[in-house]
Amino acid sequence: MALLQLSEPGESTAPHQHRLAVGIDLGTTNSLVATVRHSIPECLPDEAGRRLLPSVVRYLKGGLTVVGVDALAAESTDPRNTIASVKRLMGRGPADTDPGMRARYDLTDAAGMVRINTVAGPRSPVEISSEILKVLRARAEETLGGDLVGAVITVPAYFDDAQRQATKDAARLAGLNVLRLLNEPTAAAIAYGLDEAAEGIYAVFDLGGGTFDFSVLRLSRGVFEVMATSGDSALGGDDFDEVLAQWLHKQAAGADLDCGANRALLSEARRVKEALTTEASVIARVPQLGGGVRTVDVTVETFQSLTRTLVERCLQPVKKALRDAALKVADIQAVVLVGGATRMPHVRAAVKAYFGREPFIDIDPDKVVAIGAAVQANVLAGNRRADEDWLLLDVIPLSLGLETMGGLVEKIVPRNATIPVAKAQEFTTFKDGQTAMSIHVVQGERELVSDCRSLARFELRDIPPMVAGAARIRVTFQIDADGLLSVSAREQGTGVESTVTVKPSYGLSDDEVANMLKAGFEHATDDMKARALREQKVDAERLIEATRQALAEDADLLSLAEAQRIDAAIAALATAREGTEHLVIKASIEALSAATADFAARRMDKAIRTALTGSRVDSL
Amino acid sequence: MQDYFSLFQLPEKFALQTASLESAYRGVQAQVHPDRFAHRSEAERRVAMQWATHANEAYRALRNPVERARYLLKRRGVEIDAERNTAMSHAFLMQQMAWREAVEESAGKADLLSRLEQDLQRDEGVMLDDLQHALDDSNDLAGSAELVRRLMFMEKLRSEIDDALALLDN
């Protein structure tokens, strides 16, 4: 054991102050967790030394779960309870469920999102994803020897609001504090850009297991600015497996397969696909109904011609993003390949042919996203080094619109707008005394509501009753730095704040997530309960300390009554902290946070104004 | 929130160096972006988000010359109501019709559409020079407003041509 822990040069925080944070790549096929230790980002292995965790969850009778390699091994023996590629169902409603997934599992169309029926009962894609995240969280906490302050979770850049929200909910269920949802190609760009101190315009071609993203970024003096992003959230390596599996089945001329044999066929197709990366031909062992196999010889040429249309499909989003960014192929300085599916030689060849240059593959395409996420998580957790000065400016992938008369869409925020972004729009009532109205928000580029994806219906209530057309309700649509939408409304004449309730078209409601969290806690072991108590006590301590310091610095920003309210809330939390009920402490933390919210906002505003004035003095 | 020009500490003029706007924008985002405050309380993060949103909006508006002119005019009390106020000169209306016809005739022909787009761009360049003179030198508000309306028409037409070219690309 080292008695002396030496701090890295330039590292501002002493080792004991280093806040543990991780980046998680929650992939369709594999997931990874990475962190920055001693200034170096690295993917964390499990006890057997494996870094990739297969994104497969198996449910056992009684509710126990197996995740990863062991689950994958049961794919063909217990196919209905062994869920792979669940990312394809995240934030998806009954109408847009992937047909392959529908064939493979026993799905129920529930309100909002489909459920998969397993031996342990119906499970939402959010719950299944949270099982993967829980394993990665445990791996990180065991390896790093402490509780995580937070995680950056990556999502395909082309994920819409519902898919992002579902990912965030899954992280919450896994007990992770989400510091940021980060777009996968952007994460890769961070990993490359910081590594090479690059400048110029870069393209990231990210073909994963189930999703395809293409992003164009400008790197300049430490700023990563996404210029345009595009993609296909239902195109990935899985689709290559599927095409090959169908062809193999036809070649072997067998009878229709049952569920288990089908899964065995798919995994054989994946093996053959991967082997064809280096071999000119591979003997496939095609499973037959009722056992046995037939062999089929697959050449690289056959595989490539079978999947040529899939490769061509990747080029459409590439052209679209370049057009959106008003760039030509020649403007791109380098192309980075990300995602396991970019190992296929014909994918690489297509990228090379289109851009007329050899793509970058210096960082392992399986790991690069998790590495970039870890670097971002480290900075967001507050471990920024003094010399580490970079900033990320990302965009929304799809336009945001409102339903207007006749089922048409009025675009309010265009795709590729830099986030955070807001748009205010004024509405009026059309009936005398009308106190409520509904606003339908959609995402997509098409003109008809029916061709776009429904995000949510927002019900505005408590509009002051007036004659028709007199009310002027200003509705603000805010997209935050995670790419998530929130809506607020205010009547302009009276200043009355309307209540906005969201009915998400897809996904889980807040109540559902809260119930799942509660149910999870009821089944928790004493260990976990003790840990929750410990966490709340630490949080309480931290909040009291921070509040006292803020009061010492900026008491002049508060009225006497406000100061008294805050003092009372501090006293209440100090008392609750001595108890053993974690929920009581949690409630008192929330009460103090609420009492200090305005104060914190004012302090922040003051700090920003001072900082902006300071930069003016610097520049003179 | 501050007006766009003060936020970026730039003179309130139409003439603008893209490089100084970019560097000012990056400087402001470096101070206010929510990523700088991810470990802080929700109330603080919300304030950061509002400032970053404001900076993005300001940057978007000032970067585009037509938007920038509209913003300057609004600050001088002139609202461009493009939908209702279509009082454009007879000559420009004739020109509009000619362009529309040209776009229709070029439908499906990428080379013709591209050439048309270049012609439009060249004409827009001349109009932008006039606009700069009208706003910065002579403070001709009515003249500026007319130029802005014309340029808005040109932008719309050019985006239609872009869409047509995009369709041909696929």
Q: Are residues A69 and A108 in the same domain?
A: yes
Which of B9, B25, B31 has the most A C-beta neighbours within 10 Å, making it the best mutation to test the interface with A? B31
Confirm whether A367 is a catalytic residue. no
Question: What is the pairing mode between strands A150-155 and A21-26?
Answer: parallel
User: B59: nearest CA in chain A?
Assistant: A418
Q: Look at residues A477, A507, A537 and tell me which one is the last residue of a structural domain.
A: A507
Q: Which CATH number is A569's domain given?
A: 1.20.1270.10
Residue-wise pLDDT tens digits, A308-353: 999 999 999 999 999 999 999 999 999 999 999 999 999 999 999 9
A25 is catalytic: yes
Asked if A74 and A38 sit in the same domain, the reply is: yes
Tokens found for residue A200? 């110029």
CA A248/CA A589 separation, integer angstroms: 59
Of B32, B53, B169, the CB nearest to A421: B53
pLDDT of the residue at A23: 98
Q: For A75-114, write each residue's pLDDT tens digit.
A: 989 999 999 999 999 988 877 788 888 888 999 887 778 8
The confidence band for B145, taking pLDDT boundaries of 50, 70 and 90, is very high
CATH number assigned to the domain comprising residue A25: 3.30.420.40
| A443 is a domain residue | yes
- Are residues A392 and A218 in contact, defined by beta-carbon separation less than 8 angstroms? no
Task: Give the residue on B whose Cα is nearest the Cα of A606.
Answer: B47
CB contact (8 A) between residue A150 and residue B39: yes
In a domain, A412, yes or no: yes
Q: What is the mean pLDDT of chain A?
A: 88
Q: What is the pLDDT of residue B82?
A: 58
Alpha-carbon distance A613 to nearest alpha carbon in chain B (angstroms): 10
Highest mean pLDDT among A44-58, A416-430, A507-521 belongs to A44-58
| From A25, A46, A169, A241, the catalytic residue | A25
Examine the residue annotation and report whether A431 is marked as an active-site residue of this protein.
Answer: no
Whether A162 and A259 share a structural domain: no
Give the residue, A558 or A9, on which the prediction is more confident. Answer: A558
Chain A CB within 8 Å of residue B9 CB: yes
The percentage of residues in chain A with a pLDDT greater than 70, rounded to a whole number, is 93
Q: What is the mean pLDDT of residues B32-59?
A: 91
Given A286, A308, A330, which residue is the final one in a domain?
A308
In this prediction, residue A518 has a pLDDT band, given cuts at 50, 70 and 90, of confident
What local confidence, expressed as pLDDT, does residue A1 receive?
A: 28
Rounded Cα distance between A144 and A146, Å, is 6
CB A286 within 8 A of CB A296: yes
Residues 39-58 of B with CB under 8 A from A: 39-44, 46-49, 51-53, 56-57
| Residue closest to B59 by CA, chosen among B31, B30, B18 | B18
Q: Which residues of B touch A227 (CB under 8 A)?
A: none
Q: Does residue A274 sit in helix, strand or coil?
A: helix
Give the one of B37, B38, B53 whose C-beta lies nearest to A420's C-beta.
Answer: B53
Q: Are residues A63 and A140 in the same domain?
A: yes
Nearest Cα residue to B35 out of A479, A420, A416, A24: A420
* Residue A432 counted as domain residue: yes
Burial of residue A415 (number of CB atoms within 10 Å: 0-12, 13-18, 19+):
buried
Instruction: Find the CB nearest A422 among B27, B43, B53.
Output: B53
B19 touches chain A (CB under 8 A): no
Q: Which domain holds residue A243?
A: 237-308
pLDDT tens string A36-79: 998 899 999 999 999 999 999 999 998 899 999 999 999 989 99
pLDDT band at A215 (very low <50, low <70, confident <90, very high): very high
The residue that leads in pLDDT, B69 or A387, is: B69
Q: Please say if the pLDDT value at position A6 is more than 60.
A: no
User: Per-residue DSSP letters for A200-254?
Assistant: EEEEEEEE-SS-EEEEEEEEETTEEEEEEEEEETT-SHHHHHHHHHHHHHHHHT-
Q: How far is CA A388 from CA A379, A383, B39, B118, in A?
A: 9, 10, 17, 43
In a domain, A350, yes or no: no
- Same domain for A501 and A532, yes or no, is no
Q: Which residues of A touch B161 (CB under 8 A)?
A: none
Q: Give the pLDDT band (50/70/90) at residue A15.
A: very low
Q: What percent of chain B has pLDDT over 90?
A: 54
pLDDT higher than threshold 70 for residue A523: no
Instruction: Average the pLDDT over A545-566 and give the result.
Output: 90
Minimum mean pLDDT range among A147-161, B29-43, B80-94: B80-94
Q: How far is A356 from chain B (nearest CA, A)?
A: 18
Q: Quick one: A495 and A609 in the same domain? A: no
H/E stretch holding A56: strand A56-59
Best probe of the A interface among B20, B53, B62, B170, by most A CBs < 10 A, is B53
What is the side-by-side strand order in the sheet with A114-118? A107-109, A114-118, A121-123
Inter-residue long-range contacts of A42-46, CB under 8 Å, 24+ positions, other chains counted: A42/A371, A42/A374, A43/A367, A43/A370, A43/A371, A44/A139, A44/A140, A44/A143, A44/A144, A46/A139
Amino acid code (one letter) for A151: A
Give A-chain residues touching B169 at CB under 8 angstroms: 319, 323
Q: With cut-offs at 50, 70 and 90, classify the pLDDT of residue A5.
A: very low
For residue A616, is pLDDT > 60? Answer: no
Report the residue from B9, B37, B56 with minimal CB separation from A420: B56
Question: In chain B, which among 130-169 make CB contacts under 8 A with chain A?
Answer: 162, 166, 169
Of A319, A421, A601, the CB nearest to B47: A601
In this prediction the ipTM stands at 0.89
Question: Which residues of A make CB contacts under 8 Å with B?
Answer: 19, 149-150, 179-180, 221, 223, 316, 319-320, 323, 376, 379-382, 389, 391-393, 417-422, 478, 480-481, 593, 596-601, 603-605, 608, 611-612, 615-616, 619
Mean pLDDT of A418-430: 90
Instruction: Nearest by CB to B49, from A319, A480, A597: name it.
Output: A480
**Nearest CA distance, A56 vs chain B (angstrom):** 31
pLDDT band at A610 (very low <50, low <70, confident <90, very high): confident
Same-domain pairing of A151 and A298: no
Helices (H), A325-367: 345-355
CA nearest B107: which of B27, B34, B163? B163
Q: Is A168 helix (H, G, I), strand (E, B) or coil?
A: helix
CB A67, CB A56: distance < 8 Å: yes
Report the pLDDT value the prediction gives residue B89, as an integer from 0 to 100. Answer: 74
The one catalytic residue among A75, A87, A127, A273:
A87
**Region A295-304: what's the mean pLDDT?**
95
pLDDT at A213: 95
Same domain, A418 and A471: yes
The CATH number given to whatever domain includes residue A423 is 2.60.34.10
Q: What is the mean pLDDT of chain B?
A: 89
**Residue A515, domain member (yes or no):** no
Is the confidence at residue A386, as pLDDT, over 80? Answer: no
CATH number at residue A301: 3.90.640.10
Higher pLDDT: A569 or A529? It is A569
Question: Quick one: which of B160, B158, B148, B153 has its CA closest to B65?
Answer: B148
A contacts of B41 (beta carbons < 8 Å): 593, 596-597, 600
* pLDDT value, residue B83: 54
For residues A422 and A493, state if they share a domain: yes
What is the model's pLDDT at position A524?
Answer: 66
Per-residue pLDDT at B131 exceeds 80: yes
Cα first-last separation, chain B: 44
Residue A1 lies in a domain: no
Residue A366 among the catalytic residues: no
Between CA B16 and CA A230 the distance in angstroms is 31
Neighbours of A59 (CB within 10 A): 24
Q: Is the pLDDT of residue A263 over 80?
A: yes
Domains in chain B and their CATH numbers?
4-63 (1.10.287.110), 90-169 (1.20.1280.20)
In 10 A of CB A535, how many CB atoms? 15
Task: For residue A600, give how far its alpha carbon lies from the nearest alpha carbon of chain B (Å).
Answer: 6
Q: Is A594's pLDDT higher than 50?
A: yes
B136-142 mean pLDDT: 93
A450 and A303 housed in the same domain: no
**Are both A132 and A266 inside the same structural domain?**
no
Q: Average pLDDT, stretch A129-139?
A: 97
| A156 prior amide bond cis, ω within 30 | no
What is the mean pLDDT of the segment spanning A146-173?
93
Q: Which residue of A has its CA nearest to B52?
A: A420
* Tally of helices (H runs) and strands (E runs) in chain A: 15, 27
Residues of A in contact with B56 (CB under 8 A): 417-421
Q: Per the domain annotation, does A362 fall within a domain? A: no
Instruction: Read off the tokens for A347.
Output: 């994918």
Shortest Cα distance from A619 to chain B (angstroms)? 10
Q: Among A308, A330, A346, which residue terminates a domain? A: A308
**Does residue A8 lie within any of the structural domains?**
no
Q: Helix, strand or coil for residue A475? A: strand
Rounded CA-CA distance B47/B78 in Å is 31
The total number of residues shown for chain A amounts to: 620
A503: confidence class by pLDDT, cuts 50, 70, 90? low
Q: Which pLDDT value is given to residue A458? A: 82
More confident: A539 or A124: A124
Question: Cβ(B148)–Cβ(B130) under 8 Å?
Answer: no
Give the chain B residue nearest A315 (alpha carbons).
B170
CA distances from A359 to A342, A352, A517 (A): 10, 6, 44
Number of domains composing chain A: 4
Nearest to A391 among B29, B39, B47 (CB): B29
Place of tokens 């149910």: A519
Identify whether the C-beta of residue B52 lies closer than 8 Å to the C-beta of residue A420. yes
Rounded to the nearest angstrom, the minimum Cα separation between B32 and chain A is 7
SS3 category, A506 = coil
**Whether residues A486 and A437 fall in one domain:** yes
